[in-house]
Chain A
Amino acid sequence: MSHDDIILQVRNLRKYYPIEQGFTRRRVGQVKAVDDVSFNLHRGEVLGLVGESGCGKTTLGRCILRAIEPTSGEVHLTTRSGSMVNLLQLNKKDLRALRREMNMVFQDPFSSLSPRMTVLEIIGEPLRAQGVAAAEVESRVKDMAERVGLNPGHLNRYPNAFSGGQRQRIVIARALATGPTFIVADEPVSALDVSIQAQILNLLQDLQEEFNLSYVFIAHDLSVVEHIADRVAVMYIGRIVELSTTEDLYLNPRHPYTEALLSSVPKPDPRLVEDPMILTGEIANPANPPSGCYFHPRCKYAQDICRQVRPELKEVTPGHSSACHFAAELELKGVPSE
């Protein structure tokens, strides 16, 4: 019963995609989609994973669940029985048995639901895959549907009869059907309108409390992440550049990229006249990243050392890590709390 607080331990996780060229598919390079990522997730905790498109946040989420086979690294999950298992070393059969303890919520509720299956079949699918008897499936699906706010009388309908918000409830019910302890939620609200987004965020929070779930919550919207996450990891070109408790990250960012991200978000307040900090350029090509710190070409604080030496993710203050050579010296601007 060691590590009883930690539900997921990710160590040096890497996913490299080869770049092949020509008829012989000669290997000419590689894209480091996820590059040496390590973090812990505690039981009942929400870890927000933010970054811009192409930073590797979705690949990381999928590698954790082995929906994509990672190149190397370790992913330890604390199972229900209390033992820690390295998911990457499991064979197919053992992994399949463990699937009931972890699941995924996808971004787009229009493409992640089969149009040829009824809602009952969709939510019941993971149960059937786990060998639950057919008679029991229906009652458990009904129970689950009610908990996520779906009308159990509508279970024989097809997904096209539901609105975007309702479909996302179906996706969530499917993810929770087998009673998992750990969920990877990949942009679960970004396809939804704001008024619906609030409903789904509240639902995810309620379910988390009810079932004591742990989430890896992937999103690009920093206000959504601040709202739901206990800790936040910021990714840039395959690496975590900053990791901290949510409050501290937003108040006292320790990485220039985080500072720029926070400043770039348009705030819904017309009386704020502050000019956002504008980053020059765009995310570098991950197939050919810059030398030293990947962020240095866009960083206004960059020095010579940043062009040459890649900074490691190090703890700056207790519980707050940053991969910046000047993390301790720089006075970066966060979002003041109201």
Chain B
Amino acid sequence: MTTQPTPMLQIEDLKVHLPLEEGVLKALDGVTLTLNHGQTLGLVGESGCGKSMTAQSIMRIAPRFAQMQGRINFHRASGQTLDLASLDPQGDTIRSIRGGEISMIFQEPMTSFSPLYTIGNQIIEAIRLHRTKDPKESTAIAEDMLARVGIPDASATLNKYPQQLSGGMRQRAMIAMALSCRPALLIADEPTTALDVTVQAQVLKLMRGVQAEFGMSILYITHDLGVIARMVSEVAVMYLGRIVEQSTVDDLFYAPRHPYTQALLKSIPRMGKKAKHRLESIQGSVPVPINTPTGCGFVSRCPVAIHGLCDRVNPPLVPVDNGHSVRCFLYPEVVAAAQQEGAVQHVS
């Protein structure tokens, strides 16, 4: 709809470190990410890569002892720009944003709803905090939202407890709650991972429908490349607390640049391929990000690592093509950028 994409969320060099007994766990190690108005950005990666920590940092619901550095600039509808990273995680400002302007759908709807309150109770609470204090109006909004996400008999569902609904219906109620305050930004953290495929197809269709209707920006977090292909326009790939590649969804699947992305795409079994071929697997496993050495995070598993460079210097994330950025020294643009920064002196 918009002609010129305007940024809604700009994350700059975000670092989240968790001091543990064994050492410092670098959950996020310099994440830079831009999400434009009305855009659906996918964040994909394996477990432990930091995708959920990114979401939690934006919402400021990361663990209390996490040490946070960097900026999360959120451009509000009022024109004001706010650095979410600088806010007090329990202050009034973030509380007015959380669940209002930015809301979140969690993976497991059974654990994210309270079993002690009815669905209606929990949705209406959010509406009364952010939209209207009027009990009648807020009930009407909640009922309307439930009906819109395809829950039959919405007014009866308001009085049900989460455990009385099936998994698919619970996730619909979760989406209704997240949308009830008309968020400008919706963070969906693996919203369909716990669902069966036929129900997943229903919920994915619903998510696309609500975005078309409400026009909000979505940060879509998932490990499932099939879901990414169906749901988003732009993708960022995470590995070990960093974004290693960002591009349009078409470019990512048809012209992946980073060795990790390339290997990941080859390692998934695809339907319609002749059965019984060997999958190309990535050797080793994701290292634990405690006391990580300098250099590229993927170096220990990379088939094309450049000895003496990749294991010493962490490559910067640099655009190599129109709208396609990558963090890998295989590309001369990346080497040039590192030289400019002074991280690399001379490369043969």
Contact = CB atoms under 8 A, between A and B. Distances in A.
A157 to B, nearest CB: 16
Contact of B285 (A166, A263, A276, A283): A166
A294 interface: no
A335 B264 contact: no
Interface stretch (A85-93, A111-119, A197-205, A312-320): A197-205
Q: How large is the interface on B (under 10, 10 to 19, 20 to 34, 35 or more residues)?
A: 35 or more
B160 interface: no
B274 A266 contact: no
Given A226-B269, A261-B198, A266-B230, A278 B249 contact: no
Contact of A199 (B205, B223, B270, B281): B281
A154 B204 CA distance: 44
A172 to B, nearest CB: 15
Nearest to A267: B226
Contacts of B273: 226-227, 337-338
B253 interface: yes
B224 interface: yes
A131 interface: no
A135 interface: no
A64 interface: no
Given A201-B269, A261-B198, A266 B227 contact: yes
Contacts of B281: 195-196, 198-199, 202
Contact of B205 (A52, A270, A278): A278
A206 to B, nearest CB: 9
A201 B269 CA distance: 10
Given A165-B285, A195-B281, A223 B271 contact: yes
Given A266-B230, A268-B253, A268-B270, A246 B223 contact: no
A201 B279 contact: yes
A198 B279 contact: yes
B285 A223 contact: no
Given A198-B281, A266-B227, A227 B276 contact: yes
Given A227-B279, A261-B197, A266-B227, A337 B274 contact: yes
Interface residues of A, number: 51
Contacts of A261: 197-198
B339 interface: no
A262 B225 CA distance: 16
A222 interface: yes
Interface string A229-257: 11000000000000000110010000000
B196 A194 contact: no
B282 interface: yes
Given A197-B267, A229-B275, A282-B168, A270 B229 contact: yes
A160 to B, nearest CB: 13
A18 B87 CA distance: 56
The 5 A-B pairs with the shortest beta carbon distances in the complex, nearest first, are A266-B226, A198-B281, A227-B269, A52-B196, A264-B201
Given A266-B224, A282-B198, 18 more contacts: A193-B46, A194-B264, A194-B268, A196-B285, A198-B279, A205-B276, A226-B269, A226-B271, A227-B273, A261-B198, A263-B201, A264-B198, A265-B271, A267-B230, A278-B198, A278-B202, A282-B169, A283-B196
